[in-house]
Chains A and B, each alone.
Chain A
Amino acid sequence: MEFAFIIEKFILIIVVFVITLVIAMYSTLAERKVAGFMQDRLGPDRAGIFGILQPLCDGGKFFFKEEIIPAGAHRPLFILGPTLAIITACIGSAVIPWGQALTIGDRVVELQVADVNVGILYIFGVVALGVYGIMLGGWASNNKFSLMGAVRAASQSISYELAMGLSIIALLMVTQSLSLKEIVAQQEGFVNWNIWAQPLGFLIFLICAFAETNRVPFDLPECETELVGGYHTEYSSMKLGLYMFSEYINMFVSSALMAAIYFGGYNFPFMYDLGLSANWITIIGVFVFFIKIIAFIFFFMWIRWTLPRFRYDQLMNLGWKMLIPLALANIALTGVFIILKDKFF
C-alpha cells in the first residue's frame, strides 16, 4: 500500500470522526431546542448566542462530576459497557459513502473510508454489537432496574433486527448489490431513489431504526417512569455522558444510512444537467447528503416530542406480529414486481 493512500485514508477517518462527534454534540443541543420549540418554549439560549456553547458546558460538567462505581458492581465490565457502546457507535460510519470521488491533481480521492463489498452487512454487524454495550453496562451495575433495562434492550434489538434485515432483503433484490457505494451510485438523480421502489420497506426500516437506536417511542431500555434510568441508572459523570453520546452517534449513523440507501445519499435532482465540473458536483453532493442526514435527525427528534412510549407487550406485538409479516409480504411483492418488470417491460 502506498504512503499517500494511507495518509489520505487517515485524514478522511479523522474528518469523518470529528464531523460525527460534532454532529452528535450539537444533536444534544438541537434535541433540547426542538423540544423547547415544540412545547412553545425557547430551549437553552443562555450559553452563547442561541445556546451555541451549551454542548461544551454540558461536556465540561460531565467531566467534572464525581464518578461513582457502585460497591456491588462488576468493575471491569462496568467500565467496558460505555466504552463498547461508544466504539460500536463510532465505527458504523466507516462504510458510508459521503460523496463521489474528488479529483485533486491526478489523484482520485474516494470520499468513503472503506468500500466494503458487504457494507450493509457490516453495518448490521456493528448495530448488533451496539447492544452489548448496553447489556454489559446494565448487567454489571448490579441493580435490578439496570438489569431490566438491559434485558429489554437485548430482546428489543433482536426482535427488530429481524424485521430490519427482512426489509433490507427486499431492497437488495432491487439494487442487486450489498456494497453501499454501489447502492448509492445507482440512485442517480431523483427518480432512481430507492424510496420510490421500496416505500413499504423504507417504513419498516425507519421503524426498526427507531427501535435499534432506542429512541422514543421505543426507548424502553431507559424508560424513566418505570426503570428510574434503565440501563444507565448507576452511571455517573462521563460514563453516562458516553452512553448519551453513543445514542446520538447511533442516531447520526442510522440517519446517514437511511439517507444513503433510500434517499439517494449524495445524489440530488438535475445533478448532471447543471453543467458543473465533477468536483463541484461532489462537493454539492456532500452538502446535500448532510442536509438529508440533518433532516432525518430532526425527524427523530420530531417523533420523540410527538409520540408517547410503547408498552412493552405492544412493542413486541408490533415487532413480531406486524413488522415481520409485513416485511415478508414486502419481499414477496418486490419479487412479483421484479418478475413482472422483466416479463413485460
Chain B
Amino acid sequence: MNSQHKNYDVIIIGAGHNGLVNACYLQKAGLNVLVLEKNDWIGGAAVSRELTPNILYSNCSYVCSLFRPEIMRDLELPKHGLQIIGIEGGTTFTQDGRYLANYRNYHSKRREMARFSVKDSEAYERYSRDVTRQCRFIQPLLMRTAPDPASFKSKDIGEIFYLIKQFNELSPDQMAETIRFWTMSISDYLDEYFENDVIKASLALSGIIGTALGPMSPGTAYVLLHHYMGEVDGSIGSWGYARGGMGAITQALSSSFKSFGGELITESEVENILIKNNQAKGVALKNGNEFYSSNIVSNADVKRTFLKLVDDKFLPPSFVKKVKNFKIRGSSGKVNIGLDSMPDFPAVPKGDPCIKGDIHFTDSIERMEKAYDDWKNGTWSKDPFLDMMIPTATDPTMAPPGKHFMSCFVQYCPPKVYGKDWTQEKKEAFGETVIKQIEDYSPGFREKIIHMEIRTPKELEDEVGLTEGNIFQGELTFDQLLFNRPVPGYAQYRSPLKGLYICGSSTHPGGGVMGAPGRNAAIEILKDLKKPTSHARSAYEVI
C-alpha cells in the first residue's frame, strides 16, 4: 500500500463548490489543506464542460443567484475571474399559442401579466411584497450555523434567542403569515393572490424545481422561497449566469484556493475514511494511496459520507439510522443540447429578450402536478415540466458565434424507472419526451441539434456522486431544514466522529450553488481548531 506521509491539517473530499469554498476559508486561515477529487475535472455539479467541440456546457447546475456575495468578496473570486451576469427575461408558453413573458422592467412585466389578468397583474404587487418579507426573514439565517435546540450550551441558547428575536420582530399578523407560508403548498398560496392559471403556473415553478414534491404538496411555498432568497447585486430574487458557465464559479474557487497555497489532486476517488479511536485519521483512495490528517471534511452528501465512506462500525447505530432516514430523492433530469443556431419560437415576436431567460412550457399547475404523479408512480413525466435556458444568448464566451448551448432541466425524472435501472433505451425515450415538448413550441428545433447529452439522476449520481442525483443533496422539507439538516443533533457540520465534518448541501442552509454550507462549516472547523475566523465576514445586514 502506497501511503503519503505528508501531513495535512485538513483533507477535503470532493471539489464541488462547497468543498472548495470550505477549502479556501481553511487555507486562508493558515491551515494546510488538501482537496481530493475523484474526477479528472473539478467542480462537482458546478461545471462548464466542453462536451462537443467549442461549446461549453453548464451540464449540471445552470444558473446562479444564491451564491453569497459575502463569499465572493472574502475569497476574492472576482479577481480570479468570476462574474455573475443578471438574466434578462423569461417566458412561459401556453398550449394555445400564447406566451407570458417576464421582464426586468416593472411595468413591462406588469403589462405582460395584464394580458392574462389585469387583477393578477396588480395582485403581483402584494404577492411580491409578502414573499420579499419572507426572504428578508430567512436571509440572515443563511450564513449562521443553526442552533441545536436540544443543547444547553450558551452558544446554542444564544442562537435560539437570536431566532426568537428575529421572529418576534415580525408583527403578529406577519408571524401568522410566516407560519402559513412555511407549511402551505405553493398552489394554495398562489390561489390566495391570483386567478389566472398561466400566471400561477409561471410563479409556481420555483416551488418545485429540484424537489420531489408537486406544486400541491404542502411545504412547496418554502421551496419557492429557497429559490427566491438569492440575489444578484442586491436585487432579491433575481437570477444570473456565471460568465463562462457554472464552471467559472468552481474555477475561480480553485484558483483562489491555490493562490492561498492549497493543494488539489484530481482523479483521486476516496474509498473510505480512516478512523481510529473515534477520531478521523485520514483517507484511503481507490487507487491505494492514503493521505493522513486528523481533520476530514466531506463535500459528499450525508448518505454517501456516512453510509459509504465510513464503516458502520465506527458510528452509533442511532446516527446511522437517522442518516438512512434522510430523504434524498432524485426527481429531476437534464437534457443538455448543443445547437447549430438559435431556436425559433414563433409565438414570441422577433427580438424579444424574454427567450434569453428561463423558458417554460407548462401553463397550468395541474399539468405540473400530473407530471409529479408520474414520478410518484415510478417513471419520468410524460408531460414534463422544463426549465430551459440558453445561456449563450447572454454569454458569448461559451460557444462559437451563432452556435448555442441549451440547458433543459427536466422535472420529474426518477433515479430508477419502476424500480429498475435506467437502460439506454429508456434514456433515449426520456430525451425524446423532452425534445418533443420543445418541438411543439419551436418547429424545426430537432434539426438544429448538434449534440445532446441526456442526464437522468443516475448519471448525476455516477458522475458527480450526488445520491439519487438530487440537486439539493437532500429534500428541502421542513424536517430537513435548519437544525434538522441533515439530521437532528448533527446540524452543525460535525459528526459523531472527532475530526470528521461535512460541508455539502446536505447541511444547513441547503442546496443551490450557494456556498454557504461550505463557509459555515469552515467556521465551525476553525473554531474547533482554535483558529481565527475573522477572514469570514458575517452576512451582510438586511435592512
A, B from the same assembly: no
A residues with a Cβ closer than 8 A to B are none
B residues with a Cβ closer than 8 A to A are none
